[in-house]
Structure 1
């Protein structure tokens, strides 16, 4: 009969995620993880298999909470143009508030180039974010809030690039005016052309 776990999964995964987030994947040892999670190495391996498997679980869980849930919330509660604007504003606010940066972006820079499995997870999640922007742009072009002359796919990719750039920039130069200005300029590219009203 298998022995029941004697710890709270959410609590230990939160602790592991925070340690990976603060130190990076490579610099975080199994001992570091055990200390953060309150587990001896044997218990950690028995519960999660390996450091790599634990990191993949933490990353996937982080992305569900911090990207997928935000996308679902904004699409359900905002018109398409406002959903894009709110997403970027929240990214700027989060980037300024949390010196750890974004675990997705940190992992894309540190782990993905050397790890096919993690790289495929990151690529898939970035694809989800691009798809969200693409849906919003198409809907915004239909309702007139976004320039119809621009290719929706190109605008979606521009917005994805803006999000990644904001997150990277915030790690070395977390200046509110800089980040907000960059986001504002990206959003300006969505504006439909000005039409003079006839008098």
Structure 2
């Protein structure tokens, strides 16, 4: 019979995510992970697999408890176009309150991904596409309610909004300026047919 694990899996993944977020995938050593979690490298690998598997699990846990939760909350509580506006407003506020200027874990991971890790790149791309899908759902719903002009292509506008979002998160790491970010978001929303924005 397998022995029960003597550690909290969720807290361990949170600690692993913090390590990767702080140092990047390549910059995080197995020693860093062991120190951050308080577990031996052997225990970590026995429980979660190799470093790449551990990274993917930590990233998935982070996204499930932050990004995906936020998307679900906004879609459930707000009108479609309001959900997009609120999403960007929250991104701006999170960027400005990030005193360490760590940026977004997902975006940082995308920038760090190397060609020799196709599975990792595919996992990151899938998560980024989930954001585009959120924008597309809201735009299509907004067209049905009349809040978004019928001439707006949901596919093109969602791709535009995603590109602006990713750019914002990168820009915020070096120059987290409210006016600049707000102007970029306002222009993107207007181009996407969303006029109800701050």
- Per the normalisation by structure 1, the TM-score is 0.91
What corresponds to 1:108 in structure 2? Answer: 110
1:45-78 CA distance string (max 9 Å, x none): 2111211111010011112122221111111111
Query: What is the CA-CA distance between 1:112 and the residue it aligns to?
Result: 5.2
- Indicate which of 148, 151, 169 corresponds to 1:149: 151
Report how far residue 2 of structure 1 moved: 1.9
- Tell me the equivalent position of 1:189: 191
Structure 2's unaligned 5+ residue stretches are none
Residues 74-133 of structure 1, C-alpha deviation per residue, up to 9 Å, x if partnerless?
111110110110011111111222221111101111015441111111221222211111
2:61 aligns to what? Answer: 61
Question: Hey, what's the Cα distance between the residues in 1 that align with 2:11 and 2:78?
Answer: 32
Query: In 2, Cα distance between the equivalents of 1:129 and 1:97?
Result: 22
1:15 match? 15
Matched, 1:170 2:178: no
1:148–1:192 CA contact under 8 A, matched in 2: no
The residue number in structure 2 matching 1:130 is 132
Change (3 A) 1:97 1:112: farther
Q: Classify 1:33/1:192 alpha carbon distance in 2 versus 1 (closer, same or farther; 3 Å).
A: closer
Counterpart Cα distance in 2 of 1:34 and 1:8: 14
The residue matched to 1:2 in structure 2 has which SS? coil
Q: Which runs of 5+ in 1 are unaligned?
A: 194-199
**Equivalent position SS for 1:100:** coil
RMSD between aligned residues: 1.6
Q: Give the conservation status (yes or no) of the 8 Å contact 1:83–1:136.
A: yes
Higher Cα radius of gyration: 1
Task: Tell me the SS of whatever aligns to 2:74.
Answer: helix
Residue number in structure 1 paired with 2:50: 50
Structure-2 separation of matches of 1:68 and 1:114: 28
In the alignment, which residue of structure 2 is the partner of 1:78?
78
> 2:157, 2:192 within 8 Å by CA — same for their partners in 1?
yes
Q: For 1:60 and 1:13, locate their aligned partners in 2 and report how far apart those are by CA, in whole Å.
A: 9
Question: What is the CA–CA distance in structure 2 between the aligned matches of 1:156 and 1:28, rounded to whole Å?
Answer: 33
Instruction: Tell me if structure 2 keeps the 8 A contact 1:112–1:122.
Output: no
The separation in 2 between residues aligned to 1:63 and 1:171, in whole angstroms, is: 19
Q: Is the 8 A contact 1:144 1:192 kept in 2?
A: no
Q: 1:78 to 1:190 in 2, by over 3 A?
A: same
157 and 192 in structure 1: CA distance in 2 versus 1, 3 angstrom threshold: closer
Change (3 A) 1:6 1:27: same
